[in-house]
Structure 1
Amino acid sequence: MENIEVEPLEAPIKKKKRFKLTMPHSYVFMGMIIIFAAILTYIVPAGEFKRVEDPSTGKSVVVPDSYHSIAQSPVNPFDMVMSIYKGMINAAPIIFYVFIAYGFVFMLTKTGAFNSGVGALVRKTKGKEFIFIPVFMLIFGLMGATFGMYEESYGYIPLMMGITVALGYDAFVGLAIVYVGVATGFSAAITNPFTIGIAQSIAEIPMFSGIGFRIIAFICFMSLSIFFVMRYARQVKANPEKSIVKDIKFPFLADINQSDMATTKFSTRHKISLVLFVLTIITLVTGTVKFEWYLDELSGVLITMMIVIGLVNGMKFGQISEVFIEACKNVIFGALIIGMANAILVILQDGHIIDTIVHSMASSVKNLSPEVAGSSMVFLQTGLNFFIASGSAQAATAMPIMVPLSDLLDLNRQIAVLAFQFGDGFASMLWPHTVAVVCGIACVPIDRWYKFLWPLFLCILALEVIFVIIAVAINYGP
């Protein structure tokens, strides 16, 4: 019998496992930032400025050169955990506003009014859907730039996400239209009373002066933001696989079906419901602009109209209640993360390190040239936004420091206001304590937001520096 040599089998080649960096769960991510904030209270020296009430604004402002050290007050592990509860309590107005705003929008989808109305809109604008992106972004941008709308826009996020899904884009486009639009307008402000108004009052320059330069800045920044959102929207429209949220399920959009919209009958009840919806939006905008309504009044309007729309569509009060409960179940994830984001501020305040950080930032630019110092102010304000999220609170804390600093550097005070305006506003799209709130509302993982944001934010940062350098060159003033 012939011997047959059998060649030994080659050992299977082992594929090297590639290390893949994944974003942790949003709650875990926020927990990591809370721990980091608590650790800072052990490392950063505690200190504070003296504060007095500014008669022109009625706000407590910092007295320049009044910084002094105080006894260290680190936040211990148990207090750190308690800060989450305190953050939930402090953020209660926004949390419950989110519940109510979702209930209102959810009612429109449950009754079918949203599907049939958008279906009719899609049929009439066939092939021209892209117009909605620049138009709505400009509307939100102008509301932020003129009367300082920001948190009030959160209620529009689920609605706009539904519209963009119905128009053949993805839900992320709807989030970007609202958030990028209003944040850009708020930051490149024209007459924003919460940033420009307070900052110019503290700087003792005419209210809303220098408006021409800011209008040019607003046009440039809005054009940049609209370009980025439209570019992403066109990519998703052409190839849905390029959507950065293609694997994400959005419970509040479950009843929105694009194919059904083309054939859904637009009934009389649906028409009445959408007329009521438009009247609701007009009421909210009018109340915010003319009567200075905030979350209390806006929530009252939304609760009333949610009930009215339910009754118009033949629902009983028990059914309306069930719809509202279902809406709250869908948004509980985002509502709780808002409180966790607020816990960061609680820790920094309890540790008395915010003023120390402000003082250190201001001291770091004293010996720089005017152009470099003006640009550095933008970066300082961007960093400060991590510790003080509120624009008005940051103005009251930072501007009394930046104003004498600008005088020392022979910079026009208007430039200090401009640097504050840019650094404070645009940073709200960057730091997790703000991003977590918006992503929580939209049910979008935070890492997906950053995947979209980085190229846009780097371009925005470059444009901020360019405008500040131009302002220094032309001695931009009142």
Structure 2
Amino acid sequence: MKKIKFPSAQTVLLLIAAFVALLTWCIPSGQFDRLAYNKEDNTFIKTSKEKTITLEATQKTLDGLQIKIPLEKFTSGAIYKPISIPKTYQKLASKPQGFKEFILAPLKGIIAVADIIILVLFIGGLVAIVNYTGAFEAGITRLSKLLEGKEYILIIAVTSLIALGGTTFGLAEETIAFYPILVPIFIAAKYDAIVALACIYVGSSIGTMISTTNPFSTIIASNSAGINWTTGIYGRVTMLVIGLTICIIYIIRYAQRIKKDPTKSIIFDQKEKIEKIFSFHKSLETINFTTRLKLVLIIFITCFIVMVYGVISLDWWFLEMTGVFFVGALLIGFLCRINETVFVDTFIKGASELLSVAFIIGLARGVTILMEDGLISDTLLFYASSFTDGMNKGFFINSIMFVYSGLAFFIPSSSGMAVLTMPIMSPLADTVSLGREHVVNAYLLGIGLFNFINPTGLVLASLAMIKVGYDKWLKFVIPLVIILAVVSMIFLTISVYI
């Protein structure tokens, strides 16, 4: 009997898109009114089903709309997206998404995330140029000798550093750039590609799941809840340390097991294929780590340092990040005197190898567009907010966490989730005599837990980078997700009773 093969990431996303399109025929359309601050003339713009009106930007206006958020959160720019207005949900005329919308959604998604796609393609081009010089091979040879017998240090360092980026400034999409660099290093250390994936993706996920200063989740969610973002930070720091420790131990246990017996690898049947993809052109023993190759790696690493600095301090986004990698590729080309024709061919070939990743990112965005156009996201939020009525504190806060896990499938953006849901969900804490920071924590943990496996998030694009199937990833990560879910429930329950 022929073994059934798990579908590709692209097929999985198309199936999900078809399912979401079907949901728009079953779930009633509806929407909350929206409120946006217009800094040009210091007014609020209220948008509803019937009309759009302009209101005075005063605290009295906010109080009248039952929005318990200080005015300065809007005027300072802390809340820069339209928020949902509590108790304004209205059913709308149904907008079911048919065959035409289903076909166009992936194309709209690709257009919507064109900036991310360009970044991915240029990363592929830069990596191909560095590969052409032989700098990766030489650097990995040196690193392998330095870490011989202590390869676990690599796991601890990579996971911790990426988690630090996730918890402080929301390092997520940018991690796509790290796979071509780190997978060969982990393979050279006698690990499999799953270990490299885990260090990068789990590191980013645990960091963003327990954000401390991340402006795209903790800060915007706290602002949208009407509280200071530092409220509850000590509990989040404690949970971050616990969660990161659990993740590192989990990865190391798997890594040590497959190092002793490679047949224990979840992707053992793909071992040769993956190692061939990430193999080197020359024997590692014969490569000299010359001054020129060291400079190539310095330029390459500097690109990431500049990218991180720009995102944190200069308000850069995908276009500027792409520019950094483009400049890096040109500098390396000049340094190594690569022929112009060879440079262009190599760059384009490297970019083309990441086209599948680019399409996955676009397809995932297309799923979200189907939900937005079908007007079902607010309906799900309305019923989810009604679900917690009459619960005690412990059940309430844990229910909120699982509600957010469910909503994360439909709204994978953390900032989008915050501004749409927090004005609706955070006042529910008042009804059970809880501080609103507990709802913020439940939001973080809920969407963070689901993010480990969310097919409409970044996971499928990450898996495509290393040619590993979604089913293999689920087999690896589900036990970790269960452990983190139990720990999160314990943390939330204790926090509401102390």
- Normalized against structure 1, the TM-score is what? 0.92
The answer to whether the Cα contact below 8 Å between 2:184 and 2:278 also exists between their aligned partners in 1 is no
Q: How far, CA to CA, are the matches of 1:469 and 1:170 in structure 2?
A: 37
Counterpart for residue 316 of structure 2 = 293
Aligned residues: 456
Change over 3 Å in CA distance of 1:243–1:262 after alignment to 2: farther
Q: How far did residue 260 of structure 1 move?
A: 2.3
Counterpart for residue 396 of structure 1 = 419
Q: How far, CA to CA, are the matches of 2:448 and 2:278 in structure 1?
A: 33
Q: How far did residue 163 of structure 1 move?
A: 1.4
Counterpart for residue 10 of structure 2 = 27
After superposing the two structures, state which structure 1 stretch, 364-373 or 274-283, moved more. 274-283
Matched residue SS, 2:35: strand
Counterpart for residue 145 of structure 1 = 167
Change over 3 Å in CA distance of 1:179–1:117 after alignment to 2: same
Q: Please, which of 462, 467, 470 is the counterpart of residue 491 of structure 2?
A: 467
User: What is the letter of the counterpart of residue 88 of structure 2?
Assistant: S
User: What is the letter of the counterpart of residue 312 of structure 2?
Assistant: V
Counterpart for residue 216 of structure 2 = 194
Q: How far, CA to CA, are the matches of 1:430 and 1:88 in structure 2?
A: 22
Q: Please, which of 386, 391, 407 is the counterpart of residue 384 of structure 1?
A: 407
After superposing the two structures, state which structure 1 stretch, 32-41 or 329-338, moved more. 329-338
Q: Please, which of 295, 313, 326 is the counterpart of residue 272 of structure 1?
A: 295
User: What is the letter of the counterpart of residue 81 of structure 2?
Assistant: K
Counterpart for residue 412 of structure 1 = 435
User: What is the letter of the counterpart of residue 412 of structure 1?
Assistant: G
Per-residue CA shift, 1:135-192, capped at 9, x if unaligned? Answer: 1111000111112221122211221112111222122211111111011101111111
Q: How far did residue 211 of structure 1 move?
A: 1.6
The answer to whether the Cα contact below 8 Å between 2:121 and 2:352 also exists between their aligned partners in 1 is no
User: What is the letter of the counterpart of residue 279 of structure 1?
Assistant: T
The answer to whether the Cα contact below 8 Å between 1:166 and 1:256 also exists between their aligned partners in 2 is no
Counterpart for residue 348 of structure 2 = 325
Q: How far, CA to CA, are the matches of 1:448 and 1:140 in structure 2?
A: 22
Per-residue CA shift, 1:178-231, capped at 9, x if unaligned? Answer: 111011101111111111101111222123222211110000010111111111
Matched residue SS, 2:332: helix
Change over 3 Å in CA distance of 1:20–1:464 after alignment to 2: farther
Q: Please, which of 154, 173, 194 is the counterpart of residue 195 of structure 2?
A: 173
The answer to whether the Cα contact below 8 Å between 1:335 and 1:441 also exists between their aligned partners in 2 is no
Counterpart for residue 66 of structure 2 = none
Q: How far did residue 389 of structure 1 move?
A: 0.7
The answer to whether the Cα contact below 8 Å between 1:89 and 1:339 also exists between their aligned partners in 2 is yes
- The correspondence of residues 221-370 of structure 1 with structure 2, limited to 5 A, is 221-248=243-270, 249-250=273-274, 253-256=277-280, 260-370=283-393
Q: How far, CA to CA, are the matches of 2:114 and 2:428 in structure 1?
A: 37
- Asked if residue 456 in structure 1 is aligned to residue 480 in structure 2, the reply is yes
Q: How far, CA to CA, are the matches of 1:245 and 1:329 in structure 2?
A: 25
Q: How far did residue 251 of structure 1 move?
A: 8.7
After superposing the two structures, state which structure 1 stretch, 302-311 or 179-188, moved more. 302-311
Could you tell me which runs of 5 or more consecutive residues in structure 2 were left unpaired when the two chains were aligned: 38-73
- Normalized against structure 2, the TM-score is what? 0.88
The answer to whether the Cα contact below 8 Å between 2:124 and 2:351 also exists between their aligned partners in 1 is yes
Q: How far, CA to CA, are the matches of 1:196 and 1:42 in structure 2?
A: 34
The answer to whether the Cα contact below 8 Å between 1:334 and 1:443 also exists between their aligned partners in 2 is no
User: What is the letter of the counterpart of residue 321 of structure 1?
Assistant: V
Matched residue SS, 2:83: strand
Counterpart for residue 110 of structure 2 = 88
Q: How far did residue 312 of structure 1 move?
A: 1.8
Q: Please, which of 155, 158, 177 is the counterpart of residue 180 of structure 2?
A: 158
Q: Please, which of 436, 449, 453 is the counterpart of residue 460 of structure 2?
A: 436
Counterpart for residue 471 of structure 2 = 447
Counterpart for residue 48 of structure 1 = 31
Q: Please, which of 21, 30, 52 is the counterpart of residue 38 of structure 1?
A: 21
